[in-house]
Amino acid sequence: MGREAGYREYTAQDYEQFNHRIHDQVDILKKVIDRPEFGLSDICIGAELELYLMNEQSDVSPVNLQLLQRLQDDQFQPELNQFNLELNLTPVKAAGNPFSQMTKEMLIKFNYLWEVAEQINTRPLAVGILPTLKEKHLSNEYVTDLGRYRVLCRELLKQRGEPFHIKIEGQQESVDFFTPEVSVEGANTSFQVHLMTDKDKFANTFNAAQMTMPMAIAVAANSGVLLGKCLWHETRVVLFKQSIDNRMPDISGWRQPSRVTFGHGWVRKSAWELFSETVNLYEPIIPELSNEKLEVIQKGKVPKLAELNLHMGTTWPWNRAIYSNSGNGHLRIEFRALPAGPTALDMLANAAFSIGMAVGLEERIDEYMSRFPFRFAEYNFYRAAKRGLEATILWPQKYQNKPVEIPIKNVIDDMLQVANDGLNKLGVELAERDKYLNIIQRRFAIGITGATWTQNTLRHLRKSMNNDKACAKLLDMYFENQMEGHPVSEWECDWE
């Protein structure tokens, strides 16, 4: 969705032409991937960080376009809502110390952003969901005034035909409301990590990423508060799914697949299956046509496949296949489930753990999948999002003859070694592996994530002040800790 689109009504012919293009391009993609030289380059890692903008009163600051004008830095980009901004980090080689390089760049960019934002009384913040967010902020009044976002809101609502139902139940608190506004999706901010992947290993690596995602999200959870309520540990997961669910049941009760999805099954052979699946399961919603002439393929060039990439960007799987025509072309896995925050060190530790698990498990993934139906992995994902480190999940056991639920902490403990092996396989230096995986190990050992810290701190603050003041105080404390930069496992806990 990074491509701009004019705000206009689309005709039946627009949809027909676009549909023909994406079907043609997915066939072309198969041939491009099959080229011997495709993907022959150093493995790189990249990331995108979505940020909140808040004012001095810890309320949202809807100034992203104004801020971008002042920043004059293409690495910063707008997001759906006016109080969100995105930072695109420079891709780095996986071998060596990639996470330290990305941490350094993130801090440099964040400090520059802070200096510029301060001039307009705005504070940037990396958090999965802003604790002080109000329902009034989740309206189209706050949607960034760019064509692609206006079109997205209009088309998703048009397909659904009635308001979206947001119903989320935590352990003791809940929210339940209807909204016609797609802008609710903008309440979610994430740290989206990209891993270039060997085309011949893509299926195994992607399946391993799917299987291990619950462990990553449980230990990374940082979206525990929405509209002043303590809900899921990673509330983004359920909110995102409900906020753009454009499906309506037909007369038989059957519904189209959700555009926000964990997936539809294990990948069997190649990445191409995921592109074909998206083309054949989801209607186009933004039929913008490019001027690309696909004759470039006959000249040996790598095509952009702009329509196909645009269509892929209008579905939101938690792990997404990405095609790029850069260089000889390559494939990436985009890990989309990780939240923004709490600190740069925490986010890059989450990236290291996620990537390490996927690569470390890829060679053994067949033996896991033979004992582990895809629906079990999906079950684990939502269970981990809801309960975090307190979750129990289904996991393959030795001498198993039926599914067994075990504490997710037990699996995370085992996966730390798997992640270390995976990072070693990518050529990540020992000191780098130790530095970032120790952050995960410490967080897991004491049971403190961004979500547990914010939920427990909010409950403690409520004892001496009303909920609005408690949320504002919580956010000030969170902001101070984030600026100091220490991992969340080292933050002071008044409630202990």
Residues 149-194: tens digit of each pLDDT? 888 888 877 776 677 788 999 989 999 988 877 788 888 999 999 9
Q: How far is CA 20 from the centre of its chain?
A: 29
Q: What is the value of pTM for the model shown? A: 0.95
- The full DSSP string for 92-113 is EESSBSHHHHHHHHHHHHHHHH
Bridge partners of residue 223, in order along the sequence = 234
CATH number at residue 379: 3.30.590.20
Q: What is the pLDDT of residues 97-119, one digit of tens each?
A: 999 999 999 999 999 999 999 99
Q: Is residue 19, in this structure, part of any structural domain at all?
A: yes
CB burial of residue 420 (10 Å; 0-12, 13-18, 19+): buried
Residue 144: its H or E element: none
C-beta neighbour count of 297 within 10 angstroms: 15
pLDDT of residue 445: 94
CA angle, 47 as apex, 358 and 64 as ends, to 5°? 145
pLDDT of residue 144: 94
Q: Is residue 4, in this structure, part of any structural domain at all?
A: no
pLDDT of residue 252: 43
Q: Cα separation of 323 and 309, whole Å?
A: 7
Q: Cα separation of 78 and 60, whole Å?
A: 15
Is residue 3 scored above 60 in pLDDT? no
Decide if 443 contacts 489 (C-beta within 8 A): yes
**Can you tell me whether residue 25 is helix, strand or coil?**
helix
Q: What is the pLDDT of residues 450-496, one digit of tens each?
A: 999 999 999 999 999 999 999 999 999 999 999 999 999 999 987 66
Q: Cα separation of 358 and 418, whole Å?
A: 9
Q: Which of 124, 213, 150, 190 is nearest to 478 (CA)?
A: 124
**Can you tell me whether residue 55 is helix, strand or coil?**
strand
Give the CB-side neighbour count of residue 409, counting CA atoms within 13 A.
13
Q: Cα separation of 355 and 208, whole Å?
A: 10
Q: Is residue 495, in this structure, part of any structural domain at all?
A: no
CB burial of residue 299 (10 Å; 0-12, 13-18, 19+): exposed
pLDDT of residue 182: 78
- Local confidence band at 248 (pLDDT 50, 70, 90 cut-offs): very low
Residue 166: its H or E element: strand 164-169
Decide if 213 contacts 174 (C-beta within 8 A): no
Is residue 344 scored above 70 in pLDDT? yes
Q: Is residue 3, in this structure, part of any structural domain at all?
A: no
φ/ψ of 427, rounded to 5, equals 90, 15
Q: Is residue 241, in this structure, part of any structural domain at all?
A: yes
Residue 323: its H or E element: strand 319-324
pLDDT of residue 92: 98
Q: Is residue 496, in this structure, part of any structural domain at all?
A: no
Q: Is residue 56, in this structure, part of any structural domain at all?
A: yes
Residue 459: its H or E element: helix 450-461
Tokens 């933050």 belong to residue? 491
Decide if 10 contacts 308 (C-beta within 8 A): no
Residue 107 lies in domain: 12-249+257-490
45: amino acid identity, one letter: I
> What stretches of 119-255 show up as alpha helix (H) in DSSP?
147-160, 202-220, 235-243
pLDDT of residue 1: 46
Count of domains forming the chain: 1
